Amino acid sequence: MAGAFGITLLCSWLFFTCIVQAQTGPIDVTQLGAKPDGSADMSQVLADAWKQTCSSTTASTILIPKGTFLLKEASLVGPCKAPVEIQIQGTIKAPEDPAQISKDKEWMSIMYVDQLTLSGGGTLDGQGAKAWTQNECRVKTECSKLPNTLSLNFVNNTVIRDLTSLNSKLFHVNLFGCNNITFQHFTITAPGDSPNTDGIHIGHSTGVVITDSNIGTGDDCISIGDGAKQVNISKVTCGPGHGISVGSLGRYDNELPVEGIFVTDCTISGTLNGVRVKSWPAAKSGSATNMHFEGIIMQNVSNPVIIDQEYCPNNQCTNTAPSSVKIAQVSFKNITGTSATPAVVTLLCSKSIPCDGVEIADIDLAYNGNQGNVSSNCANVKPTLSGKLNPPICANATIPAQAA
């Protein structure tokens, strides 16, 4: 009996140990049936793995190992009972045809989750080339929206690191209603002519950090929409693309204020714009305040420094009234390098609500082209100037008497 009892205890102890290991070790999607062959859809497998990890009362991990996995679409919804990590070591591919993704759905969406980590060194491949030919939103106001690669909605206290987003159909990453999100060592890659492929779009979110990342795409490397607050962008390399932008703002009713945007120690190369604040010419109100761009290196960038309150791409404007978005407390400091256009600083503020509290300091931008002399263009703003300014900035700037 003693021997049998001892064996039972040993077996029980071993069994308990196995159970603990099963609960605390990563859930490998290939063990649940996913095939790294690039053709078998892993949507249901990922949903099952998410259900298991999200219901765990201890921190847990989903592992997508090396290999190529096809994913038709994924909707991962919390709240979860404990922190969750998704380690993507392989490549996850979207369907080439956007029609295979449910209408009004994103390719990968994560909602209502706290303490999430996305990591692993792998790639999210949106396979966007076919979809780009179907994108009419850049020229039409009424159009069918393509799916974003990764949408985070109401996600908090989350880290996305050591991942690549490749060839998204629309935005690579879209944030809405999020708090305390960090991107680190994040790579975004798409051709410079891929339409509306914003790198990271931030809307209605607070406490977003983007650092030590490389973004090259067909639209804004980073776009900051209404309701974004306390956004810190540093050590980002941007290009190709349309630069790092606040806006566009003032296109829709009831937009929330933008506050606290800090862009520092970044390099922007070969883009259509550098650092930009843009709003539509319309009577819809809004505000963007406390925005600071400092320590930026420009390499052959068109429009390196720009405030554009007459933003109207593809002549889509139906209202020619001046912008009603208030822009205030903005600084551009220590910005150096080369411009692809003669106008290296352009500050076109609203006639009805001129920009206020704009600071320009230590600008040294050279233009080596043959389209005219290096210059600045300023309207409805009188910035505070200091330090070295090459070229001279806003020498003849005025504010309309009725707005002063």
Among the ranges given (140-144, 172-176, 306-310), the one the predictor scored with the smallest mean pLDDT: 140-144
Pick from 17-21, 132-136, 195-199 the range whose average pLDDT is largest: 195-199
Percent of all residues in the chain with a pLDDT value above 90, rounded to a whole number: 82
pLDDT for residue 18 is more than 70: no
**What is the reported pLDDT for 401?**
54
Q: Nearest-CA neighbor of 392 among 378, 379, 372, 376? A: 376
Residues with a catalytic annotation lie at 242
- Average pLDDT in the 104-132 region? 96
- To the question of domain 170-390 being in CATH 3.40.50.720, the answer is no
pTM: 0.92
pLDDT for residue 139 is more than 90: no
Please provide residue 288's backbone torsions phi and psi, each rounded to the nearest 5 degrees: -140, 115
pLDDT for residue 2 is more than 60: no
- Average pLDDT in the 186-213 region? 98
Alpha carbon distance 298, 220 (integer Å): 15
**What is the reported pLDDT for 137?**
73
**What is the reported pLDDT for 91?**
98
- Residue 174's pLDDT band (cuts 50, 70, 90): very high
pLDDT for residue 16 is more than 70: no
- Residue 24's pLDDT band (cuts 50, 70, 90): low
- Residue 304's pLDDT band (cuts 50, 70, 90): very high
Q: Which residue has the higher pLDDT, 400 or 205?
A: 205
- Residue 385's pLDDT band (cuts 50, 70, 90): very high
Among the ranges given (22-31, 176-185, 220-229, 352-361), the one the predictor scored with the smallest mean pLDDT: 22-31
The answer to whether the CB of 378 falls within 8 A of the CB of 397 is yes
- Average pLDDT in the 297-306 region? 98
Tokens representing 34?
A: 């996913």
**What is the reported pLDDT for 282?**
84
266-280 pLDDT, tens digit per residue, is 999 999 999 999 999
Among the ranges given (65-79, 185-199, 311-325, 381-395), the one the predictor scored with the smallest mean pLDDT: 311-325
**What is the reported pLDDT for 367?**
94
- Residue 283's pLDDT band (cuts 50, 70, 90): confident
**What is the reported pLDDT for 74?**
98
329-363 pLDDT, tens digit per residue, is 999 999 999 999 999 999 999 999 999 999 999 99
The answer to whether the CB of 184 falls within 8 A of the CB of 213 is yes
- Average pLDDT in the 167-192 region? 98
The CA-atom distances, in angstroms, between 148 and each of 31, 151, 179, 189 are 28, 7, 20, 14
pLDDT for residue 190 is more than 90: yes
pLDDT for residue 76 is more than 80: yes
206-255 pLDDT, tens digit per residue, is 999 999 999 999 999 999 999 999 999 999 999 999 999 999 999 999 99
Domain segments of the chain as ranges: 170-390
Average pLDDT across the chain, whole number? 91
Cis link prior to 257 (omega < 30° from 0)?
Answer: no
**What is the reported pLDDT for 398?**
62
